[in-house]
Amino acid sequence: MVIPNNNNFTTFFFTLMDLPGLETAHCWTAIPICLIYSFSVLGNVTIMYIIKFTPSLHSPMYLFLSMLSMADLGLSASTLPSMVAVFLLDQRKMGAAACFTQLFFIHTFSVIESGVLLAMAFDHCVALQEPLRYATILTTKSTGAIGLAILSRSAVLHLPLPVLLGRLQFQPTNALSHSYCVHPDVLRLTSSRTLVNSGFGLFVMLSTLGMDAVLILVSYVLILKIVLSIASNAERLKAFNTCISHICAVLLFYTPLVSLSIIHRFGKKKLPAQVYMLLSYLHFLVPPILNPIVYSVKTKEIRIWILKMLHPKKL
């Protein structure tokens, strides 16, 4: 028995899952989940607020940072509804249309974040290699165009996913592995041929996350070459210090993603399910909450404004 593909958007439901081993501890898991989302929204909104209302921060570096905060907010908003439904309300059923819509936004905002991280690497590379021409190469207009290109690339590439999934037939066993919908997890439950869906998914991943990661690595090879060519150790340290926050953001985003890919390909059967699930949750929950903290600590201008907001009479 299979679910006909013309009923996918009307009668078929997916079952969302808890964290393995914590199925009965909804109250205790709901508290940290809600705190993570609350601090994520607070941190990213604060970053965006400071940049928007501080004219001196209207430079490409900070405009890209505000884009990163927008991507983090979008990623949090994409996973929040189903996470709250599972951990706070114990509601596990999600219609196919809602599931396909959620996975579109989750993957779209993930690729947007990856694209912004690449743009930030490019910004650092230009700032170090062409300091005198930096203002003419990266203008406000060109920065906006880069942001629009990142958004368009991600949205256009992921639009076919819900359409392709809607053509498939699904098995009655409809339990997902997570408390949110992602493309590989949904594809696992189909009884139809998945060659087109799998091939398209692989193409999107390689042409976005894969290509971005390679270009970020190339950017840092060039940055390292530039930094090592500086004669003064103090100037060399100062130049490299400007990249620390971005390096942390890249590691926070790509480390769980790469680990998931390696485990999925080679070690999923050998490792406990909790390890695989934990990395998956870390990929979607950790960057939105830690990115604002990293940039607030390492960026002097933002740190000063936050201190002013917390202690207006002392500064």
Residues spanned by the domain of 236: 14-157+176-310
Query: Is a pLDDT exceeding 90 seen at residue 229?
Result: no
Q: Does 8 reside within a domain?
A: no
Average pLDDT, the chain: 86
Answer whether residue 7 shows pLDDT above 60. Answer: no
Domain annotation covers residue 236: yes
Say whether 312 sits in a helix, a strand or coil. Answer: coil
Q: Which residues pair with 170 in a beta bridge?
A: 3, 190
Query: Does residue 108 surpass a pLDDT of 90?
Result: yes
Q: Which stretch of 17-21, 138-142, 238-242, 307-311 has the lowest confidence by average pLDDT?
A: 17-21
- Nearby residues of 308 by Cβ (< 8 Å), 6 or more positions away: 315
Considering the domain boundaries, does residue 19 fall inside one? yes
Token readout for 296 is 């607030």
Q: The CATH number of the domain where 30 resides is what?
A: 1.20.1070.10
Q: Is the pLDDT of residue 5 over 80?
A: no
**Cα 24-107-181 angle, rounded to 5 deg:** 30
Tell me whether residue 5 is in a domain.
no
pLDDT at position 240: 83
Give 249-282 pLDDT, tens digit per residue. 999 999 888 877 776 666 555 666 667 777 788 8
Identity at 84, one-letter amino acid code: V
For residue 159, give both structure tokens. Answer: 């639009």
Give the global pTM. 0.91
180, burial (CB in 10 Å: exposed 0-12, middle 13-18, buried 19+): buried
DSSP 94: E
Q: Model confidence over 159-173: pLDDT tens digits?
A: 999 999 988 888 776
Is the pLDDT confidence value at 222 over 50? yes
The DSSP bridge pattern shows strands 93-95 and 13-15 to be: antiparallel
Taking the C-alpha atoms of residue 273 and residue 253, their distance in angstroms, rounded to an integer, is 21
Q: Hey, what amino acid is at 205?
A: M
In a domain, 60, yes or no: yes
Res. 8 pLDDT band, cuts 50 70 90: very low
Domain-located, residue 164: no
Tally the domains of the chain. 1
What residues are paired with 95 via a beta bridge? 13
Greater confidence (260 vs 107) lies with 107
Number of Cβ atoms within 10 Å of the Cβ of 169 = 16
Rounded CA-CA distance 46/39 in Å is 10
Q: Is the residue at 303 inside a domain?
A: yes
Residue 4 lies in a domain: no
Confidence at residue 4, expressed as pLDDT on a 0 to 100 scale: 42
* Residues 6 or more apart in contact with residue 193 via CB below 8 angstroms: none
- What pLDDT, on the 0 to 100 scale, is given for residue 21? 65
- Own/partner contacts of 211-220, CB < 8 Å, gap of 24 or more, are 212/114, 212/115, 212/117, 212/118, 213/114, 213/254, 215/118, 215/121, 216/117, 216/118, 216/121, 216/250, 219/118, 219/121, 219/122, 219/124, 219/125, 220/121, 220/247
Residue 2, pLDDT > 60, answer no
